[in-house]
Amino acid sequence: MDIKENDSKLFTPGPLTTSLTVKEAMLHDLGSRDTIFLNIIAHIRGKLLELADVSADEHAAVLVQGSGTYAVEATFSTTIPHQGAKVLIIENGAYGQRMTKICRILNIPHDVISFHETERVQVDLVANKLQSNHYTHVAIIHCETSSGILNPIEEIGQLVYDHGTTKGSTVYIVDSMSAFGAIPVSLRNGHITYIISSANKCIEGVPGFAFVIGKKQHLLTCQGQARSLVLDLYDQYTYMEQSKQFRFTPPTHTILAFKRALDELDQEGGVHGRAKRYEANNKLIREKMKTLGFIELIKPEYQTYIITSYYYPSAPFNFQTFYNKLSEKHQLIYPGKTTETDCFRIGNIGRLFENDMATLAECIKEVCEEMNIELPLTNNTKQ
Ligand SMILES: *Cc1c(COP(=O)(O)O)cnc(C)c1O
């Protein structure tokens, strides 16, 4: 099957639309031990620390081959001791549930505090939960990409810091996959021990590796704990420190693209510059969708500027037809990832600009007309 001459715009949660220059950066074959390549790895690791607003004195960035989930699993696999550990997973959507699944598969003792998939994590309920039990580790999702909710990770971080007999002894793991690089975060203020993201989300690289930024002091206690060979964060870290290399075949082209993507993030004004563009994208599509009569799944006060979920128009509505027709117009949206409601998602991260969002809205309007869906939607009742 031939690839379309013009790539579709990806209004998805990743992989995302990337710049031509990021793609062009991959037009080189480097050896995994090339000095040039090793220097690029070192540069990237340093740059990630800068983005997290920490320094190499206390923190380290570890790159892990694979998609984002590989780094989440590596973090759980490596940083939780075999004896005496108990994890609290705070979840309000599919990505939080995935962390629970990881614990189940790795046989890690855990409790789960769940919130409805359309609700933000509630700080007071988490506080009660922490008071009634002792947890060695607490894990949460930053932006729950399955809905678009932004969770209060710094407030929870303060609770986690105060939890237990010694302040700061509880390990706090944050999956910031779809937020890191576009939503400012302070590891210090959030008392975060490990934060996780990947190459192909808000930093706008291509898929192939993920990364964990963690406290060295803790990471260094994790030798021999990993329940996996390839997902051993400690080994990956110490090997990278000593040799500047990956343990196993590195995603060389992805690393080159990522280096370029980091340069472009700088050019855009860093995290704040990128946040500004994403906020403008998000504002524009939400206004346009509102005009068409689409209703958002998430209350505006919980909603962040990464991705937005919309209820289907009222029945009969065939999402697959809607999706295919948009795809023919080179616009790729995403199905919903919530369990209780029929919805679809529009991401506005990646190399997208306001004119792209306007084009998408125009295409959605045309597709609705082709499907005989009357606009603006009126009886678009919530299912
Ligand atoms: C994208 C994403 C992941 C990782 O998904 P992969 O498909 O493994 O890359 C994990 N958590 C969140 C919140 C995400 O948005």
Per residue in 330-345, pLDDT (tens digit) is 999 999 887 888 999 9
Please identify which residue in the block is written with the tokens 């939960």.
Answer: 129
The pLDDT of residue 336 = 86
Average pLDDT over residues 290-309: 97
Interhelix angle 270-292/354-370, rounded to 10 degrees, is 20
Q: Is the minimum distance from the CB of 198 to ligand 1 under 6 angstroms?
A: yes
The number of residues in the chain equals 383
The pLDDT of residue 104 = 98
- Given a cut of 50, whether residue 178 has pLDDT beyond it is yes
* Tokens at 239, concatenated: 């090997």
The pLDDT of residue 161 = 98
Contacts of 131 (CB under 8 A, 6+ apart): none
For residue 276, count other CB atoms closer than 10 A to its CB.
14
95-135 per-position pLDDT tens digit: 999 999 999 999 999 999 999 999 999 999 999 999 999 99
- Please report which confidence band the pLDDT of residue 383 belongs to, taking 50, 70 and 90 as the band edges: very low
Mean pLDDT of the chain: 96
Q: Is the minimum distance from the CB of 256 to ligand 1 under 6 angstroms?
A: no
Distance CA 202, CA 179 (A): 7
- Given a cut of 60, whether residue 382 has pLDDT beyond it is no
- Please report which confidence band the pLDDT of residue 165 belongs to, taking 50, 70 and 90 as the band edges: confident
Separation of CA 113 and ligand 1 centre (Å):
20
Average pLDDT over residues 58-80: 98
Distance CA 130, CA 157 (A): 12
Distance CA 177, CA 261 (A): 16
Separation of CA 277 and ligand 1 centre (Å):
22
Distance CA 359, CA 329 (A): 10
Q: Is the minimum distance from the CB of 14 to ligand 1 under 6 angstroms?
A: yes
CB half-sphere exposure, 246, CA atoms < 13 A: 21
The four Cα atoms 175, 171, 88, 128 give a dihedral, to 10 degrees, of: -110
The pLDDT of residue 338 = 79
**Per the confidence metrics, is the pTM higher than 0.75?**
yes
| Domains, the chain | 9-14+269-370 (3.90.1150.10), 20-266 (3.40.640.10)
The pLDDT of residue 379 = 63
**Ligand 1: nearest atom to the Cα of 143:** 13
Please check whether residue 309 is in contact with residue 296, taking contact to mean a CB–CB distance below 8 angstroms. yes
Please identify which residue in the block is written with the tokens 């700061």.
Answer: 168
Distance CA 325, CA 302 (A): 31
Distance CA 213, CA 211 (A): 7
Average pLDDT over residues 134-148: 97
The pLDDT of residue 52 = 96
205-226 per-position pLDDT tens digit: 999 999 999 999 999 999 999 9
- Given a cut of 70, whether residue 200 has pLDDT beyond it is yes
Q: What values do phi and psi take at 146, rounded to 5?
A: -65, -20
The pLDDT of residue 381 = 55
- Given a cut of 70, whether residue 15 has pLDDT beyond it is yes
Outline where DSSP puts E strands in the chain.
9-10, 59-65, 87-91, 110-114, 137-141, 143-144, 149-150, 171-175, 194-198, 209-215, 307-311, 331-332, 334-335, 343-347
The pLDDT of residue 204 = 98
Q: Between the CA of residue 20 and those of 180, 186, 216, 260, 359, what are the distances in Å? A: 22, 31, 36, 11, 20
Separation of CA 363 and ligand 1 centre (Å):
27
19-40 per-position pLDDT tens digit: 999 999 999 999 999 999 999 9
- Given a cut of 80, whether residue 306 has pLDDT beyond it is yes
